[in-house]
Amino acid sequence: MSNQLNVVELFAGVGGFRLGLEKADASFFKTVWANQWEPGKKVQHAYDCYASHFKTDDNNLDDINNEDISTIENSVFERLNIDLLVGGFPCQDYSVARTLSGEQGIKGKKGVLFWEIKRIIENSHPQYVLLENVDRLIKSPAKQRGRDFAVMLAVFRDLDYIVEWRVINASEYGNAQRRRRVFIFAYKKNLDYAEQQMSLPTDDLLFKDGFFARTFPVKETAFKGRNEKDQKLPEDVVEISDHYSFQFHTAGIMIDGVFHTVQPEAKEPAPIALKNKLLPEEKVEEEYYLKEAEIEKFDYLRGSKKIERISKDGHKYIYAEGGMSPVDDVDLPGRTMLTSEGSINRSTHVVEVDGRKRYLTPIECERLNGFSDNWTFGMPKRMRYFCMGNALVVDLIKDMGERIKEIALVEKKKPCN
């Protein structure tokens, strides 16, 4: 086995996956190519940030790509010798249809980036794939629960991968943000690691010995008995897209199209308080403190309300919203940051320190995701908040990277096609 893994990072943002893997072992994880492209944006702030941190003398701008991923030729991925493919991709509509000829298989909706992941895997056959998405992915769409996730599982099945997934709340594993994201770890069936995993009961994999359970320990039984095994996906992906629905739980494993899904609980939650990530007040600029008019707006936005509204077809209805605390409790982890962080919005954090209410600063938002201070410096302030709302928690990737390294170091060198 080589003493390093070649990594390709897709939809790279400001580099959370790469930074996490380098924190795990910068000499073992070698990022050989990365792509970040924001459609419709004249200035590519996230790409510029990524390139500023990771461009070195031994790589060039071809290695840090700023083009629409769908325009990149298959030959690029064929030559990269990818061992590990990583990326955080948008939650979209994954419905599919049969091609006009029928014999050519399926086609996904145009512009859906998961199909680009599929194309890249088909042309590079990485041993391992690690993906991140919002936790609602496993329940979407609302009118056919679980369809989109089932389509993804079936695609990995047809590409000869075993798949584990887990919704992880970052605050339960030593981080200062209650950020819930689903992580998907897929690995080739012909690996020795796969053979070893398949020799164990799936209960053991999900609660003790699997990729996620070893990395993020859980209690020995499922929450409220939510434990369903021996569920089989339909063979035809189009049938899944058209008719299939299933209430997937927050963790699971799929082998040969048969999956076992459970809802585990963190074994020993270890949250970090928001106050541990705040700057000293003397270093917070005046612009971050709320003016009286802003305080009044936040009081309204965060308060309970019932509002009569009229739908497009003229139907009247009552929109109701529960109240929340006027300020965030700094003795708890922060709530999930959204891309609207720092604006006058119900989801924005408001902290009160020394009797004054204020926004989080961009540096504090970087800290909540595990980036170093001023990682996004140089962007407009609004974009700094936006990029952190889109980013992942770096230390979760560090933890997963350490486990991937353990797996890879004991893997016997075998052909992976």
**Set 49, 91, 365, 416: catalytic member:** 91
Region 290-301: mean pLDDT is 96
For residue 309, the cross-strand partners are: 317
Region 391-399: mean pLDDT is 98
> What does the pLDDT look like over 13-42, one tens digit per residue?
999 999 999 999 999 999 999 999 999 889
Q: Is the pLDDT of residue 390 over 90?
A: yes
For 114-128, b where at least 16 C-beta lie within 10 A, e where not — what string? bbbbbbbbebbbbbb
Q: Which domains does the chain have, with CATH numbers?
A: 5-269+393-409 (3.40.50.150), 274-390 (3.90.120.10)
> What does the pLDDT look like over 331-353, one tens digit per residue?
999 999 999 999 999 999 999 99
Nearest-angstrom CA–CA distance, 53 and 22: 12
383, amino acid identity = M
Residue 230 φ then ψ, to 5°? 55, 40
Q: What is the pTM of this model?
A: 0.93
Residue 400 φ then ψ, to 5°? -70, -35
> How wide is the angle at C-alpha 369 spanned by C-alphas 211 and 169, nearest 5°?
45
Contact 164, 119 (CB under 8 A): no
Nearest-angstrom CA–CA distance, 378 and 389: 17
Check residue 414 and give its pLDDT: 52
Check residue 1 and give its pLDDT: 47
Nearest-angstrom CA–CA distance, 58 and 74: 24
Out of 53-62, 124-133, 205-214, least confident range: 53-62
Query: Is-cis flag, bond preceding 415, omega within 30?
Result: no
Closest CA to 170 of 28, 21, 274: 274
Note if 91 is an active site residue: yes
